[in-house]
Amino acid sequence: MTNLNALTTLPTLTGGKGFLGHAREIERDRLAFISKITRETERISRLRVPSVNAVVINHPDLLHEVMLERARDFEKSHLLRYSLYLLAGEGLFTALFEPWKRHRRMISPAFHPASLGVFADPMVECARRVVGEWEGRSQVDLLRETTRITMAIAGRTLFNTDTLVAADEIGNALTVALEWAANNAPSASAFVHLWIRHLSQSVAERMHAPEGSRLRSVQAKLSGPVILAGQEGKALRKAIDTLDRHVETIVRERRAARTEHEDLLFRVLAARDDDGSLLNDRQIRDEILTLFVAGHETTATALAWCIDLLARNESEYRRVQDEVDSLGHRPTYADLPALGATLRAFKESLRLYPPVYFFSRQACRDTQIDGVAIPRHCAVAISPHALHRRADLWPNPDAFQPDRFTKDQEEQRPRLAWLPFGAGPRVCIGAQFALMEGQLVLAHLLRTYRFEAIADVKPQPSATLRPLGGMPMKITKRSI
């Protein structure tokens, strides 16, 4: 690696004073921090956080470099793993390269676009059932309702169950675990934990400790939080116990039944590696919870924002409404090609309010970005939200303009200017699933009800980018 500039030559994002540096700002007001990235980072800037070097990248070329060209140099970050480890363990979202590679190879066929068609009718059916309960009502909290829909879809497509007795309990436990992750990621205790983990790794490496040794198992234990203090910590422990209990029961019953099912659990249980091996019980638990978590809250948030944006843009609403009405029936898989305006509106709302608004990587060896030497352990922050508000990539960036997603317009933009699902080998495995779910659920909702926004809603960057305090919406039943 010759002729590389030193990390210290990079501009540093303004602010970031004190021990926690920019982590304090991220903790206090994430949206303000993200806006600062949009304003100040054209390509790459340095961040000040405790105990590690850190940069933020905000340009399609550099995203390509980190997420595709040098994907092997950048692992999921220890901070992400720390915050989600008790929930998702070594599932696809949080796993390091090994064992991720094997699991992704095994699970990918389950999400092949050609095999997703069977989920279309169940998706619309779940939306129909929830909407059926709105009879006689003039107002709903749309976020609550879209969450009920996507939760029902997750239950149906993962476990093939309509009446998952445990659904509410699982839903509540997932919320507790996600909130813990959102509140505890950039905290002082997280950074102290990561610092200890970092030290234990250095010692294990310097002593050439073999896999399976005591030092290595201490290090593995430090992937997630070790001490769960206070009310919040106790609530997390209880939530994880609840989730473990339910997943264990569901998997045990399914194995005992030995019947074929049209659902993702069946596909994950049957997934075989090239040598014929299957996933073990712990791995199945981690993957199932990962799919449940990654799959439902993200799509629920995206659906709520999309309807809110449509409700505030009369002409765009009319376009989607006309398209949906011209189907003349409940939407089906075969109708997806005819729902182009619906898909464009959904994609544009994922641009303005990307549910996964911030994620990160960590250099696992000395490497480079944009001709700058990046030392091992350096954290790399990426914000789809900051990227999606760049005026040079998205003229008039705050305006809702679904036509940005016509084929012509998409071809004129750098591919990585739109990043709601990430990119490269770690791209969202459920992206096609989510787009199909978005199109079908939106079509069913707009076909059956008229939506009017009745309050200004602000985004709240929590585990996902949710509307703060929910999304109150006036609804009127349509005669169809």
Shortest Å distance, C-beta 213 to ligand HEM: 28
Cβ pair 33, 22 in contact under 8 A: yes
Select the span of 2-10, 159-167, 415-423, 469-477 touching ligand HEM (CB under 6 A). 415-423
- Cα distance between residue 336 and residue 124, in whole Å: 12
Are 362 and 76 contacting, i.e. CB atoms less than 8 angstroms apart?
yes
Cβ closer to ligand HEM: 16 or 295? 295
Tokens of 388: 């999606």
Token pair in block for residue 307? 């309807």
Q: Identify which of residues 21 and 355 has a Cβ nearer to ligand HEM in the complex.
A: 355
Out of 85, 418, 433, 449, the residue judged to bind ligand HEM by CB under 6 A? 433
Binding mask 78-117 toward ligand HEM (x if CB under 6 A, else -) reads: --------------xx----------x-------------
Calculate the alpha carbon distances from 227 to 26, 175, 261 in Å.
Answer: 23, 20, 40
Alpha-carbon distance 363 to 64, whole Å?
15
Q: Which of 319, 308, 346, 352 is nearest to 435 (CA)?
A: 346
Min dist. Cβ of residue 424 to ligand HEM (A): 8
Residue 268 interacting with ligand HEM (CB under 6 A): no
Label each residue of 26-53 as H, E or C. Answer: HHHCHHHHHHHHHHHCCCEEEEECCCCE
Nearer to ligand HEM, 345 or 429 (CB): 429
Binding piece for ligand HEM, criterion CB under 6 A, among 164-172, 319-327, 414-422, 455-463: 414-422
Assign 3-class secondary structure to 291-307.
HHHHHHHHHHHHHHHHH
Among 429, 436, 443, 471, binds ligand HEM (CB under 6 A): 429
Q: How far is the CB of 433 from ligand HEM (least distance, A)?
A: 5
Half-sphere exposure of 261 (CA within 13 A, CB side): 21
DSSP letter, residue 155: H
CB of 442 to ligand HEM, least distance (A): 12
Smallest distance, ligand HEM to C-beta of residue 416, A? 12
CB under 8 Å to 108, separation ≥6 — which residues?
Answer: 429
Residue 4 DSSP class: P
> 53: which strand partners?
48
For the record, the structure tokens of 238 come out as 């209880």
The nearest distance, CB 231 to ligand HEM, in angstroms, is: 30
State the DSSP code for 66. I
Could you tell me how many residues of this chain bind ligand HEM (CB under 6 A)?
Answer: 22
Interface mask toward ligand HEM for 365-404; x: CB under 6 A: ----------------------------------------
Stretch that binds ligand HEM, among 212-220, 421-429, 451-459, 472-480 (CB under 6 A): 421-429
Q: Which of 166, 284, 428, 442 binds ligand HEM (CB under 6 A)?
A: 428
| Binding range to ligand HEM, per CB under 6 A, among 140-148, 336-344, 352-360, 452-460 | 352-360
How many whole angstroms from its chain centre is CA 155? Answer: 18
Region 295-314 residues binding ligand HEM, contact defined as CB under 6 A? 295, 298-299, 302
- Element (DSSP H or E) covering residue 460: strand 459-461
- Residue closest to ligand HEM (Cβ): 430
Task: Work out how close the CB of 300 gets to ligand HEM at its nearest, in angstroms, rounded to a whole number.
Answer: 9
Minimum Å gap between C-beta 389 and ligand HEM is: 16
Q: What are the helix (H) ranges across 207-313?
A: 214-221, 230-257, 264-270, 281-311
Nearest C-alpha neighbor of 369 from the set 143, 63, 91, 97: 63
Site for ligand HEM in 161-180 (CB under 6 A): none
Q: How far is the CB of 299 from ligand HEM (least distance, A)?
A: 4
Question: Which residues of the chain form contacts with ligand HEM (CB under 6 A)?
Answer: 92-93, 104, 290-291, 294-295, 298-299, 302, 355-356, 359, 420-422, 426, 428-430, 433-434
